[in-house]
Structure 1
């Protein structure tokens, strides 16, 4: 793990808030010249601390207003099933996040769909690719906090 100094940390916090900020503005905010700031940002990208820069979209504006969490239980834990499952969830566009879990469930999936019909389509795609013992879904009624910023 790379260690970051105070300026690196300030740059990372700023980029988490607005990755499209100009180098001039970013430099002013962290107390560096444009060129020095550019070198720091490049070093943070090269080190892997900055994985990419993206635009955050409003899900409702693009027709994906329903967020669903799917709890998956499987009867198979062999490497072949895991590889097939991994390929399947990577290929389904509505699936945003997949986590292998401890405890009673095996996987937790976070997905965005247009509506219940969109969820059913996603569900059908998933079970078409891999056998699943049990799927339980919970639908988000209200998003109280949803952040992409890490607490650094």
Structure 2
């Protein structure tokens, strides 16, 4: 990837609704070469998808909870089962396997504490956990889906 590709990718990560001609103008290319570069990044998987980012408050899921999960089942079958369980819950918007004291980290979004309590009660019936703890986000300081392109 050259500087044109990086610039194109940066622009698309900030606003995927930009037209190819708008992007081309901003990066200093004509429309066709710019379109080809975008197509190449999509084909190679650099651009995985173009999505709309919704406002959690307007969708009534303004409470963000980070759920730390510990297990005593460190095997592929348990992980596969847990991953399937996580897919069942639309409230789980991110799911990570971690190093350190916590085995898995979930980011969960719900409307309020009562909704989280209902989510939690459903989650703990699905499989065995050694420990689950939750931290509630009080304020979002920074949030972006744009990844840095400077390391390319």
TM-score normalised per structure 1? 0.94
Shift of 1:118: 1.4
**Match for residue 134 of structure 1?**
131
- Answer yes or no: is the 8 Å Cα contact 1:73–1:132 preserved in 2: yes
CA distance in 1: counterparts of 2:20 and 2:52, whole angstroms: 17
Unpaired segments of 5 or more residues in structure 1? Answer: none
TM-score normalised per structure 2? 0.94
Q: 1:101 aligns with which of 88, 92, 98?
A: 98
Shift of 1:68: 0.2
CA distance in 2: counterparts of 1:86 and 1:13, whole angstroms: 31
- Answer yes or no: is the 8 Å Cα contact 1:73–1:107 preserved in 2: yes
Alignment of 1:21-32 (within 5 A): 21-32=18-29
Q: 42-51 or 27-36: which moved more?
A: 27-36
Q: Runs (4+) of structure 1 moved beyond 2 Å?
A: none
Q: 1:147 aligns with which of 136, 144, 149?
A: 144
RMSD of aligned residue pairs (Cα, Å) = 0.9
SS of the equivalent of 1:71 reads: strand
CA distance in 1: counterparts of 2:39 and 2:148, whole angstroms: 22
SS of the equivalent of 2:72 reads: coil
CA distance in 1: counterparts of 2:47 and 2:4, whole angstroms: 15
**Match for residue 79 of structure 1?**
76
- Answer yes or no: is the 8 Å Cα contact 1:84–1:129 preserved in 2: no
CA distance in 2: counterparts of 1:79 and 1:9, whole angstroms: 37
String of CA shifts for 1:4-31, please: whole Å, max 9, x gaps.
1111001000001101101110110111
CA distance in 2: counterparts of 1:28 and 1:85, whole angstroms: 47
Alignment of 1:57-76 (within 5 A): 57-76=54-73
Shift of 1:75: 1.3
